[in-house]
Amino acid sequence: MTKPRRTKADRELEWMEADQRAWEAFLPKLTALQTYVDAKVLVANAPPPDSPGRRYYSNLGYFLGYFGVPAGANSTERSLYIQFIQRLDEAGALKPGAAAEVLDALRKSIAERPYV
């Protein structure tokens, strides 16, 4: 007897569930970042392209590369980027005053798109 074929809706549900598990695994890692090097190592350990959760690593990689707000980052990611920049600034890892512009852009993006 053959297995019933999975529908598109079944595949989408499986993907969403896998993406949620990936988010739940990524979140404590993002929260724990203390240094720029730690963040780069996290991005280097990203899942393969087209895998559930890859977008969170890609968003972080974009953020680290440009200190700009990734278009696909959700509000939780952006809030955690704020905390990360604050930790870097407190540790003296950033040039004096450099954090202000990045923090302003992140805060503005959260105010403009709080549910993305």
H-type helices in 6-112, by residue range?
8-32, 36-44, 54-66, 75-90, 98-112
Query: How sure is the predictor about 6, in pLDDT bands with cuts at 50, 70 and 90?
Result: confident
Quick: pLDDT tens for 14-48. 999 999 999 999 999 999 999 999 999 999 999 99
Model pTM? 0.91
Q: Is the pLDDT confidence value at 1 over 70?
A: no
Interval 73-95 mean pLDDT:
96
Separation of alpha carbons 25 and 89, rounded Å:
26
The share of the chain scoring above pLDDT 70, in percent, equals 98
